[in-house]
């Protein structure tokens, strides 16, 4: 079975164009010239003027150059200290073009994480995300595109300044309503398009909505007047184009004469183009039916994308029957007030930020904003609960993809819980319920952010809803252990275990003991890990608990036994987990069971079986973006490759896995047991190749992207050309006991 990765860390993450880019040729050329000479360019202008479309067009042009640089012949390198300042044209963005959309980021604490996500970074450590970003970008030629930063201008400016100072090959192209006001920034004020381009845009969008539409001698004057009255603002023109499906240009112009105060143009003293945009959106609002206006206002509580089920639950009520929401959504789509998008989790809808903000203002004026935010929170609480249950099923990949898409709304729900002191326990429950996403899908840093916030907030120690707090505590202990933060993990888990004992919460107690055993495992205390993990398994069984966590406990016990040399015991435990996972369709825990089975197979000299198991393990871990599991499997696969007689390919794999440790932290928490395959591979391959050749092959591997690395690992040693001088097969290495730290049993 093939599994697609949830996120790709490739060179480019720009969205595809849903409609053609019209006009703006002069602006695009001028912006391109600025990017050649400046490391920070900010496109500014009123909402709806087309900033996002222009910077994306410029980014696509830059991405084309980056692809040419990646695929063509290499050019001469500059001195490391001079990277980026005057890079050759094709080299300037050779490491890619990445877009970070900031309009939906409400919490300043998530700014760095959003940029990390845009860059495809996964970091399991406790290092500040800003440090991770700077280290990743330090020696790269990359164009970072920031769209919609104005509500976080101070935080964005500080981050951009630091990154530009520390990363000489980085260039930033930003779009917002105001400059960042940084030294060296080149500001590109964007005016509405010239009249001819405005008319071209209006005609193109009207034709898309109604193929029968055409500019004629009879309607041209009205269309030109309409463009002028709307100041040529692209968003206003697109809204007007949606109306030309049912109204003539003359009728649209007549509507703009509507005497309602809403249509007179906003606050006194405002910029004309701001007033024109508000007029256009207000005009669209007035043309909506009362029910459409109400749905518009209520949909404004969503962050980013949402699906029909969510819209029906959150927005329906006595004044809006649930069965009528679908038709209303269709009407808002027809009027260009909603956008329909295909995602990995299915069809989603989204409002342009300017349109959403207009609806949010109306919702506040109706006095219904608090109630709708709570309904929104309740829906996503239910979604998270369902996803946690469904994680232990054949739909595990679909669950991961769904949470990935819904993350902006889940963040909003968590914020809502934190805004209400009496509902803090709901935030603790939600942050804890998403454990599978934090730990299983490469989101440890963000999980730690929310767990710390909900547990440390005033009132977070209340015992009225103790079960929610206990869940958040054991999840915090789990996340902190995987981050290598033993002190925080120990404190949270002991607090959880002691409180669970006092209240008689057997399930929470089992989770606390389990994660203490996990902490012992990654700390190389195998005897203690064996004791605690065995105790936790007994407690789980007594409580009737069975899910991915319980099976992971059994796998971790199998790891401890394998490291201690009890291979039959490890095989029995992990073989049983594999059978249960295959019966239930569970993939994530199964991948870790396969790792232990491969470890045991390699110990017994079964390199072919070990490769088969590890290939599936790599595929699944890559699909879930589980960096810990991926790097462990890759390094064991490199050792298998040495045993198969190809030390050169093993060195390439080893070198490619090395940068992944930057996201995990210390070489798996400094564990001698987990690091044994890496060290033994280096020793064996180095002896066979010699230090100089080994270093060269390892350096070749470090240049591979994660995607390329995974493709190479899945392809297998048989299809990789055998390096000259590589010996034939070798006996399997001994990994247990003899490679353990000297002071361990």
Reported for 712-716, long-range contacts at CB under 8 A and 24+ positions apart, including other chains, are: 712/652, 712/653, 712/656, 713/615, 713/618, 713/634, 713/637, 713/653, 714/615, 714/618, 714/619, 716/611, 716/615
In a 3-state reduction of DSSP, which class is residue 170? Answer: strand
To the nearest 10°, report the CA torsion of 727, 729, 730, 735.
120
Answer yes or no: pTM beyond 0.85: no
Q: Compute the average pLDDT of residues 711-721.
A: 67
Q: Are 48 and 82 in contact (CB under 8 A)?
A: no
And the tokens for 223? Answer: 């269309």
C-alpha 4/C-alpha 619 separation (Å) is 8
H helix intervals, 367-505 = 369-390, 396-419, 424-433, 435-440, 444-456, 466-482, 486-503
Q: Does the pLDDT at position 289 exceed 60?
A: yes
| Residue 277, pLDDT score | 63
| Burial per residue of 371-405, b for 16 or more beta-carbon CB atoms within 10 angstroms, e otherwise | ebbbbbbebbbebbeebbeebbeeebbebbbbbbb
Give Cβ neighbours of residue 77 (< 8 Å, ≥ 6 apart). none
Is residue 547 within 8 A of residue 392, CB to CB? The reply is yes
**Rounded average pLDDT over 406-417:** 95
Tokens 């990154």 locate to 163
pLDDT score at 389: 95
How close are the terminal C-alpha atoms of the chain, in Å?
A: 39
527, pLDDT greater than 50: yes
SS3 assignment, position 647: helix
pLDDT of 10 strictly over 60? no
- Inform me whether the pLDDT recorded for 402 exceeds 50: yes
Q: What percent of the chain has pLDDT over 70?
A: 85
Distance CA 368, CA 386 (A): 27
Place of tokens 């490890």: 570
Give the Cα separation of 388 and 379 in Å (integer).
14
Report the sign of the C-alpha dihedral through residues 228, 233, 239, 241, in that order: positive
Over its C-alpha atoms, the chain yields an Rg (Å, rounded) of: 28
Instruction: Enumerate residues 6+ apart whose C-beta is below 8 A from 117.
Output: 7, 100
Contact 55, 41 (CB under 8 A): no
From CA 424, how far away is CA 472, in angstroms rounded? 12
Question: In whole angstroms, what is the distance from residue 239 CA to residue 206 CA?
Answer: 10
Q: Tell me the C-alpha distance between 103 and 113, whole Å.
A: 14
What's residue 63's pLDDT?
84
Query: What pLDDT sits at residue 291?
Result: 95
User: Would the pLDDT of 427 be above 60?
Assistant: yes
Tens digits of per-residue pLDDT, 171-212?
999 998 888 999 999 999 888 888 999 999 999 988 988 888
Instruction: Give whole-number Cα distances, 26 to 51, 191, 257, in Å.
Output: 14, 12, 33
pLDDT at 529 over 70: yes
* 3-class state of residue 346 by DSSP: strand
Hey, which residues does 306 pair with through a beta bridge?
A: 349
In sequence order, which residues have a C-beta less than 8 Å from that of residue 24 and are 6 or more positions away? 50, 53, 54, 57, 193, 197
Share of the chain above pLDDT 90, in %: 55
Q: What is the pLDDT of residue 126?
A: 79
Alpha-carbon distance values, 148 to 19, 185, 213, 336, 338 (Å): 20, 17, 33, 20, 18
Tell me the two tokens of residue 628.
């810990």
pLDDT at 406 > cutoff 90: yes
Q: Is residue 438 within 8 Å of residue 447, measured between CB atoms?
A: yes
Give the pLDDT band of residue 92 (cuts 50, 70, 90).
confident
* Average pLDDT, integer, range 31-57: 89
Q: In terms of Cα–Cα distance, which of 566, 569, 565 is closest to 554?
A: 569
Lowest mean pLDDT among 47-61, 74-88, 625-639, 672-686: 74-88
Statement: residue 84 has pLDDT above 50: no
- 661 pLDDT higher than 90: no
pLDDT value of residue 3:
46
Q: Please give the pLDDT value at position 460.
A: 61
pLDDT of the residue at 386: 96
Give the count of beta carbons closer than 10 Å to the beta carbon of residue 541: 12
């Amino acid at each position: 079975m093939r599994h697609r990765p949830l996120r790709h860390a490739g060179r480019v993450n720009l969205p595809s164009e849903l409609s053609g880019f019209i006009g703006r040729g002069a602006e695009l050329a001028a912006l391109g010239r600025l990017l050649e000479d400046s490391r920070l360019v900010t496109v500014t202008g009123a909402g709806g003027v087309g900033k996002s479309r222009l910077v994306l067009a410029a980014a696509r042009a830059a991405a084309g150059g980056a692809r040419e640089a990646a695929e063509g012949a290499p050019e001469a390198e500059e001195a490391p200290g001079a990277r980026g300042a005057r890079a050759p044209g094709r080299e300037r963005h050779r490491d890619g073009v990445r877009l970070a959309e900031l309009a939906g980021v409400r919490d300043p604490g998530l700014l760095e994480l959003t940029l990390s996500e845009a860059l495809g970074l996964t970091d399991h450590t406790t290092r500040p995300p800003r440090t991770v970003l700077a280290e990743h970008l330090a020696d790269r030629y990359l164009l970072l595109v920031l769209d919609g930063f104005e509500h976080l201008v101070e935080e964005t400016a500080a981050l951009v300044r630091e990154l530009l100072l520390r990363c000489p090959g980085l260039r930033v192209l930003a779009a917002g309503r105001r400059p960042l006001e940084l030294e060296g920034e080149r500001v590109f004020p964007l005016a509405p398009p010239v009249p001819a381009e405005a008319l071209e845009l209006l005609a193109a969008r009207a034709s898309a909505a109604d193929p029968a539409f055409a500019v004629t001698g009879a309607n041209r004057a009205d269309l030109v007047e309409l463009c002028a009255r709307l100041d040529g603002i692209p968003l206003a023109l697109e809204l007007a184009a949606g109306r030309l499906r049912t109204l003539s240009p003359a009728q649209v112009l007549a509507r703009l004469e509507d005497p309602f105060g809403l249509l007179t143009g906003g606050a006194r003293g405002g910029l004309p183009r701001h007033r024109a945009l508000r007029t256009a959106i207000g005009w669209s609002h007035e043309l909506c039916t009362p029910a459409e206006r109400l749905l518009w206002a209520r949909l404004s509580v969503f962050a980013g994308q949402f699906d029909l089920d969510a819209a029906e639950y959150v927005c329906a009520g006595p004044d809006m029957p649930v069965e009528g929401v679908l038709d209303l959504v269709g009407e808002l789509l027809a009027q260009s007030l909603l956008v329909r998008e295909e995602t990995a989790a299915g069809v989603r809808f989204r409002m342009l930020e300017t349109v959403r903000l207009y609806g949010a203002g109306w919702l506040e004026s109706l006095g219904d904003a608090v109630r709708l935010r709570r309904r929104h929170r309740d829906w996503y609480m239910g979604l998270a609960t369902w996803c946690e249950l469904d994680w232990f099923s054949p739909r595990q990949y679909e669950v991961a993809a769904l949470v990935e898409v819904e993350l902006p709304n889940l963040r909003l729900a968590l914020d809502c819980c934190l805004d209400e002191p009496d509902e803090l326990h709901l935030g603790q429950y939600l942050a804890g319920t998403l454990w599978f996403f934090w730990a299983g899908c490469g989101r440890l840093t963000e999980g730690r952010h929310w767990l710390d916030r909900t547990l440390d907030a005033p009132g977070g120690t209340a015992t009225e809803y103790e079960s929610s707090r206990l869940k958040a505590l054991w999840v915090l202990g789990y996340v902190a252990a995987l981050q290598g933060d033993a002190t925080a993990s120990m404190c949270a888990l002991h607090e959880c275990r002691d409180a669970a004992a006092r209240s008689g919460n057997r399930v929470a107690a089992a989770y606390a003991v389990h994660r203490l055993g996990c902490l012992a495992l990654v700390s190389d205390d195998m005897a203690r890990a064996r004791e605690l993990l065995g105790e936790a398994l007994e407690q789980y069984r007594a409580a009737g608990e069975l899910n991915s966590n319980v099976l992971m406990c059994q796998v971790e016990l199998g790891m401890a036994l394998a490291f201690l040399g009890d291979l039959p015991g490890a095989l029995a435990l992990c073989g049983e987990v594999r059978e249960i996972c295959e019966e239930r369709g569970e993939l994530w825990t199964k991948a870790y069971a396969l790792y232990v089975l491969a470890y045991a197979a390699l110990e017994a000299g079964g390199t072919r079986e070990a490769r088969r198991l590890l290939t599936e393990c790599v595929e699944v871990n890559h699909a879930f973006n589980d960096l810990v599991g991926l790097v462990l499997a890759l390094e064991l696969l490199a050792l298998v490759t040495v045993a198969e007689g190809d030390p050169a390919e093993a060195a390439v794999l080893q070198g490619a896995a090395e940068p992944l440790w930057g996201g995990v932290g210390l070489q798996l928490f400094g564990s001698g047991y987990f690091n044994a395959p890496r060290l033994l591979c280096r020793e064996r391959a180095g002896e066979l190749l010699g230090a100089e050749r080994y270093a060269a092959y390892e350096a070749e591997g470090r240049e591979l992207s994660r995607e390329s690395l995974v493709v190479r690992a899945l392809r297998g040693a048989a299809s990789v050309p055998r390096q000259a001088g590589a010996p034939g097969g070798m006996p399997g290495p001994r990994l247990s006991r003899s490679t353990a730290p000297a002071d361990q049993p």
